[in-house]
Chain A
Amino acid sequence: MADNLTPDDHKRLFTLLSPAYLWLTVAIFLPLSAMLFFSFVSDMPGGDTAWHLTLENYREFVSNPTYFTLLRKSLLLATTVTLICLLIGFPCALVLAKSIKGRSREALFLLVILPFWSNSLVRIFSWAIVLRGNGVLELGLNAVLPFDVRLNLMFTTTAIIIGLVHSYLPYVILTSYLALQAISDDVIDAARTMGASPFTILRRLLIPLSATGLIAGATLVFVPIVGSFMEPRILGGRVGTYYGTVIEDQFVAVYNWPLGAALSFLLLGVVLLILGLASPALKRGAV
């Protein structure tokens, strides 16, 4: 790889790179800038009504406590789901990385991350079938248990959490697995011969050394959930009103796009803040 590029190289570089980055500019970066602009207008330009620049949309967020409450509710949901994913995903990654060897590890790993590549909407829908009153879960439990249970988890926060954990768990397993795999078995063996208990090995060795993977996984779970709207709608029904569903409403039901843009932009601010806090770890992890 040469540092000194000839003019020819520059031309080639430009030809190869510009289509991809031009596309990203048109589809991602310009839209985000446009959204920032439109969050400061009173009405969508181009319509029948006159428009002017205003802070009204942001004032709406500040003066109406509902938005703030919903944002907090979304953050709480994301925190809960992230913690659950870490708690059940990390042990799973640990087993995959340190306890299973050879081809079966590869196959099991693939099995774990495969669902993550299939339609999340469809997987959420499959939970709706399982969780609904008189549904498969209830019938199954009643067949096994001697007493009668009425679960009817559908349209509860629990249902939303179950569905979201199902959707995002593979992220945590993937990133933790990659981080744990990088830890040499010799280090663990050394600690053990020195008399460290399994718990000490976990606390002093495995968790600190895989922290980058854990943080990367947590971020990948947390960020999209703060903006989720489809999962709460399907599994939460009436209790499924979150910050994301309010934004969805502004765009598809109420048609108040400027307000939707402002709410989206505030969400983007929260997301960037979280990514910024996690970025030192993300950079070192570089999954």
Chain B
Amino acid sequence: MLRMLGILGRIWLGLILFFLYAPIVVMAVMSFNASPYYQLPFEFSTRWYQEMAANDQIITAAIRSVLIACATTVIATALGTAASVALFRYDFRAKRVLQALLFPPIAIPWLISGTAMLIFFFSIGIGRGTPAVIIGHVALALPYVIVTVSARMSSFDITLEEAARSLGASQWTVLRRVTLPWITPGIIAGALFAFAVSFDQFVVSYFLSEPGDTTLPVLIYTAIRKGFTPEINAISTIIIVVSMALVLFATRNSKFGGES
């Protein structure tokens, strides 16, 4: 069985990896091609990156995306870490229900969450715009933070807290000097995931951002629908590189999916 899986399996895995990365690589390569029509022969040029850098709309949207992602990261990490600590430390009746409530933001299609938020925010007067986008992004990022921090927390030895307390440390000191340092890698990972979720989020931003005042993915969607422009290649390549780098850092800080 295992031997048979050997060669064929490795070929299969190779094909899958090729399938997953080929279009991204093609896009990255084409972003350095001088021709605007993705034509060959390939002629190296940084023309599209220069045009992108000179495009005010793209730069403004990029800055807005980063600011929204930063705000989302700070809020989601703070709220998520607090909730993880509580969910881990205490046993109470509603715990399973509360944990189950983390499921809907991930499981419900973003189209539904996005349109529901739009309707609700309009009816209570928040309307569209950056605050609405941040509220939505935090909700989508929270479950990821809680899951990541909780995963790190599960390796925490609760007797350490008891030991600290028996030595006279207050609850708050225990949290600050014992528990938080231990789960810091989980918090960092959760924060990076939150940033990645927000930075990559398209659907909810699409329904909640004001026309002409959008995030990068929304701007890209509009541009694609109007017709391909090679600048979009350049900015898309940057987005892919940034989000993959973020997640690589996050996985190094958590045990997400790894062995041992």
Contact = CB atoms under 8 A, between A and B. Distances in A.
B23 A166 contact: yes
A109 B257 contact: yes
B117 interface: yes
Which of B13, B75, B92 has the largest count of A CB atoms less than 10 A from its CB? B13
Contacts of A35: 112, 115-116, 119-120
Interface in A55-103: 88-89, 91-92, 94-96, 98-100
B86 A12 contact: yes
Interface in B72-108: 75, 78-80, 82-83, 85-87, 89-92, 98, 101-102, 104-105, 107-108
A21 B83 CA distance: 8
Contact of B258 (A99, A106, A230): A106
Interface residues of A, number: 98
A29 B224 CA distance: 33
Nearest to A14: B86
Interface stretch (B54-62, B181-189, B242-250): B242-250
Nearest to B132: A27
A89 B21 CA distance: 15
A223 B109 contact: yes
B115 A247 contact: yes
Chain B, interface size: which category? 35 or more
A16 interface: yes
B119 A34 contact: yes
B123 A126 contact: no
A227 B111 contact: yes
A211 interface: no
A281 interface: no
A27 B117 contact: yes
Contacts of A136: 26, 30, 38
Q: Is the interface of A mostly helix, strand, loop or mixed?
A: helix
A128 B90 CA distance: 50
B92 A5 contact: yes
Interface string B232-258: 110010011001101110010000011
Interface in A7-39: 9, 12-13, 15-17, 19-21, 23-24, 26-32, 34-35, 38
Contacts of B225: 233-234
Given A16-B82, A16-B83, A38-B123, A121 B202 contact: yes
B79 to A, nearest CB: 4
B123 A45 contact: yes
Contact of B240 (A26, A119, A174, A188): A119
A170 B247 CA distance: 14
B200 A19 contact: no
A192 interface: yes
Given A136-B38, A192-B1, A248-B111, A126 B27 contact: yes
B48 interface: no
B12 interface: yes
B111 A229 contact: yes
A115 interface: yes
Interface in B12-51: 12-13, 16-17, 19-24, 26-27, 30, 38-40
A1 interface: yes
Instruction: Name, among B12, B86, B202, the residue most crowded by chain A CB atoms within 10 Å (CB to CB).
Output: B86
Contacts of A21: 83, 98, 101
B109 A130 contact: no
Given A125-B27, A261-B115, 4 more contacts: A19-B79, A118-B200, A227-B112, A264-B115
**What 9 pairs between A and B have smallest CB-CB spacing?**
A227-B109, A27-B139, A95-B9, A31-B120, A16-B86, A31-B116, A126-B27, A20-B83, A126-B23
Interface of A: 1-3, 5, 9, 12-13, 15-17, 19-21, 23-24, 26-32, 34-35, 38, 44-46, 88-89, 91-92, 94-96, 98-100, 105-106, 108-115, 117-123, 125-130, 132, 134-136, 139, 166, 169-170, 173-174, 178, 188, 192, 198, 201, 223-224, 226-230, 233-234, 244, 247-248, 251-252, 257, 260-261, 264, 267-268, 271, 275
19 contacts: A3-B91, A17-B86, A20-B79, A23-B75, A26-B139, A34-B120, A35-B112, A38-B123, A100-B13, A110-B248, A114-B247, A119-B240, A126-B23, A129-B27, A129-B30, A173-B16, A230-B202, A233-B225, A252-B207
Interface of B: 1-2, 4-6, 9-10, 12-13, 16-17, 19-24, 26-27, 30, 38-40, 75, 78-80, 82-83, 85-87, 89-92, 98, 101-102, 104-105, 107-113, 115-123, 135-136, 138-139, 142, 146, 158, 171, 196, 199-200, 202-203, 207, 217, 220-221, 224-225, 228, 232-233, 236, 239-240, 243-244, 246-248, 251, 257-259
